[in-house]
Amino acid sequence: MAFMRESDAISGKQAKAYATINGRVEELFYAKSIEATIEKNKVDVPVLGKTNTGSRSAGWKGSGTLTVYYVTSVFRQLMRNFVKTGQDFWFDLQITNEEPNSGSGKQTAMLMGCNLDSIIAAKFDATSDDMLDEEMPFTFSDYDLIDQFNAITGA
């Protein structure tokens, strides 16, 4: 029986993330976390003679949350432009996970056509010792894997 080597586990602290906004690459070194999910849209397929209702995939939707320290105005500027002009904005996110000691190598995911749902316009909290952060929910319209993890062999 094989077991995963502890050294093959991936630390999220060593990830790298970049946003490409209007052709300009912004390193998201102030990011705390990102989680993006692809959810299948399924439709019911009742079949004559069966007592269950089957289902099949009919599309997908990509959504996620980017959490950053409250230290950048980049996304507030984009949203401000939308508020003032009605001109929406899209950007791409590239996320790379790589652990130097892991045999799994690295994975680089691209989330394309990202569009923010909301941002925090202004914030403070004089009662907390925690650093200010903000969660920005978003959707995306395309997805790719540029690099894929190696298969790990176990011990």
Query: So where are the chain's domains?
Result: 10-41+55-147
Place 145 in a pLDDT band, splitting at 50, 70 and 90: very high
Q: Tell me the CATH number of domain 10-41+55-147, given options 2.30.110.40, 3.40.50.880, 3.30.2310.20, 1.10.150.530.
A: 2.30.110.40
User: Which residue do the tokens 């995911």 mark?
Assistant: 109
Residue 119 CB contacts under 8 Å (≥ 6 apart), including other chains: 75, 76, 79, 134, 136
pLDDT one-digit tens code per residue, 3-37: 888 888 888 899 999 999 999 999 999 999 999 99
CA 27 centroid distance within chain: 14
Q: Could you read off the pLDDT of 74-117 as tens digits, one per residue?
A: 999 999 999 999 999 999 999 999 988 888 999 999 999 999 99
C-alpha–C-alpha distance, residues 65 and 18, integer Å: 14
Put simply, whether the predicted model's pTM sits higher than 0.85 gets the answer yes
